């Protein structure tokens, strides 16, 4: 008998093909977003769940999962949507999909940086709405990226790829993480032992830390005040690491020149003021959305399930 897998969202064709081949897969062809109650109902007679970050596994949901469910194999690197302590307490195996999305996420981060610096939203809107009437030497002046200082808060896999790509723009890389990295990982990047010490060195600041109680609203009004005047903030990690009110106030006052955002608190119902600000470049949580990466994320989640059902330790176990 093949293990039964509940797949909460419609996944790439190649991933669903492999799921159908190797498992008794309960797919979601209509891609309906399940409520917690539906999720629990559908988890009946299931051996494992393959969810996305759109399904929240709170302590309460985990407590109500049928006893047969052994594992949650996430289709995501972030796992802040799963209460890890509750999962551990119940003996649930939880896995994620690291590495395979670092390049795609770094690409989008560079796009956010360029888009925010060079006013991509404003420019595009001008052209599309026929509001573009003329040209003059002072028209649409932006911020040059080349040669500037880039601060990276969270220097893990994604942060390190961002640093490598940013070096193509001759940027000087500064970073903060909970520990100083080995020289081969740093590649010349300058370590700062606290976020506060990093801030004054950031013409651009990009966030790549995990979302956890420790990083909740890490970028707050006090830390924004320590950034150089006119800095640009980029976030492709999780919305929870930014204090929206503080970021919006700084974008309005001119303390910050611009921001480039892919992630938000309460997606897709984001803080409404972001939509009104001309100096933010907004994307709808698509950092990993390339065909290559989404296939690789699915295969990585399946590799983890294969290991679990073969009685081996899955490569990407987080609980
Ligand atoms: C995905 C992500 O879009 O992997 C993550 O943590 O945020 C994105 O790559 C999403 O989480 C898929 O579930």
Q: Among this protein's residues, is 165 annotated catalytic?
A: no
**Domains located in the chain, CATH noted:** 4-100+291-309 (3.40.50.720), 102-282 (3.40.50.720)
Residue that is written with structure tokens 């013409």 in the block: 203
pLDDT of amino acid 182: 98
Q: Ligand 1 mean position to 253 CA, how many Å?
A: 32
pLDDT of amino acid 12: 98
Q: What is the DSSP letter of 219?
A: B
**What is the chain's mean pLDDT, rounded?**
98
Q: Ligand 1 mean position to 157 CA, how many Å?
A: 15
State which H helix or E strand residue 40 sits in: helix 36-42
Query: Between β-strands 48-50 and 172-176, what pairing exists: parallel, antiparallel or unpaired?
Result: unpaired
pLDDT of amino acid 269: 98
Q: Average pLDDT for residues 10-23, to the nearest whole number? A: 98
pLDDT of amino acid 296: 99
Q: Is 305 left (phi over 0), alpha (psi -120 to 50) or beta?
A: alpha
Ligand 1 binding pocket, CB closer than 6 Å: 52-53, 75-78, 101, 285, 287-288
Q: What is the DSSP letter of 82?
A: B
pLDDT of amino acid 52: 98
pLDDT of amino acid 309: 98
Residue that is written with structure tokens 């990982």 in the block: 185
In ligand 1, the atom with minimum distance to the C-alpha of 52 is: 13
Q: Among this protein's residues, is 238 annotated catalytic?
A: yes
Task: Please state, in angstroms and rounded to a whole number, the distance separating the CA atoms of residues 316 and 277.
Answer: 39
Q: Average pLDDT for residues 117-129, to the nearest whole number? A: 98
> Helix, strand or coil for residue 261?
strand
Task: Please state, in angstroms and rounded to a whole number, the distance separating the CA atoms of residues 120 and 255.
Answer: 20
Rounded alpha-carbon distances, angstroms, from residue 296 to 82, 101, 102, 104: 21, 8, 11, 11
Task: Please state, in angstroms and rounded to a whole number, the distance separating the CA atoms of residues 258 and 198.
Answer: 19
Active-site residue (options: 18, 53, 157, 238): 238
Q: Is 276 exposed, middle or buried (0-12, 13-18, 19+ CB in 10 A)?
A: exposed
Report the candidate in 231, 21, 278, 235 with the shortest Cα–Cα distance to residue 125. Answer: 278
Q: Which two tokens stand for residue 91?
A: 């003996």
CA 203 to chain centre: 22
Exposed e or buried b for every residue in 301-310, given b needs 16+ CB within 10 A? bbbbbbbbbe
The pLDDT > 70 percentage for the chain reads: 100
Rounded alpha-carbon distances, angstroms, from residue 185 to 7, 105, 164, 179, 304: 36, 18, 10, 12, 26
pLDDT of amino acid 10: 98
Mutation test residue for ligand 1: of 76, 268, 289, the one with most atoms within 8 Å of CB: 76
Q: Among this protein's residues, is 42 annotated catalytic?
A: no
Q: What's the pLDDT tens digit per position in 239-295?
A: 999 999 999 999 999 999 999 999 999 999 999 999 999 999 999 999 999 999 999
Q: What's the pLDDT tens digit per position in 203-214?
A: 999 999 999 999
Q: What is the DSSP letter of 76?
A: S
Q: Which two tokens stand for residue 99?
A: 């590495």
pLDDT of amino acid 239: 98
Task: Please state, in angstroms and rounded to a whole number, the distance separating the CA atoms of residues 263 and 81.
Answer: 14
Q: What's the pLDDT tens digit per position in 144-171?
A: 999 999 999 999 999 999 999 999 999 9
- Read off the pTM: 0.97
Task: Please state, in angstroms and rounded to a whole number, the distance separating the CA atoms of residues 223 and 246.
Answer: 10
């Amino acid at each position: 008998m093949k293990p039964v897998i509940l797949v909460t969202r419609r996944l790439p064709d190649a991933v669903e093909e492999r799921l159908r081949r190797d498992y008794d897969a309960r797919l979601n062809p209509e891609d309906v977003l399940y409520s917690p109650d539906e999720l629990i109902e559908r988890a009946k007679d299931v051996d494992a769940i393959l969810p996305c970050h759109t399904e929240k596994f709170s302590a309460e949901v985990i407590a109500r999962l049928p006893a047969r469910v052994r594992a949650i194999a996430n289709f995501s690197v972030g796992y802040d949507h799963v209460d890890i302590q509750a999962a551990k307490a119940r003996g649930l195996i939880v896995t994620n999909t690291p590495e395979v999305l670092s390049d795609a996420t770094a690409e989008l981060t560079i796009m956010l940086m360029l888009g925010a610096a060079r006013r991509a939203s404003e420019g595009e809107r001008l052209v599309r709405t026929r509001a573009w009437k003329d040209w003059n030497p002072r028209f649409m002046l932006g911020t040059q990226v080349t040669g500037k200082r880039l601060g990276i808060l969270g220097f893990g896999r994604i942060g390190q790829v961002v640093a490598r790509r940013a070096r193509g723009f001759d940027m000087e890389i500064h970073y903060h993480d909970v520990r100083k990295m080995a020289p081969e990982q740093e590649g010349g990047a300058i370590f700062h032992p606290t976020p506060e010490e990093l801030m004054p060195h950031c013409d651009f600041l990009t966030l790549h830390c995990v979302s956890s109680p420790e990083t909740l609203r890490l970028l707050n009004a006090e830390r924004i005040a320590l950034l150089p005047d006119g800095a640009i903030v980029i976030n492709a990690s999780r919305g929870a690491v930014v204090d929206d009110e503080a970021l919006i106030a700084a974008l309005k006052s001119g303390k910050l020149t611009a921001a480039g955002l892919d992630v938000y608190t309460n997606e897709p119902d984001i803080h409404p003021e972001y939509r009104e600000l001309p100096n933010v470049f907004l994307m709808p949580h698509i950092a990993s959305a390339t065909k290559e990466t989404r296939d690789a994320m699915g295969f990585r989640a399946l590799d983890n399930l294969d290991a679990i059902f073969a009685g081996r330790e899955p490569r990407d176990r987080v609980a």
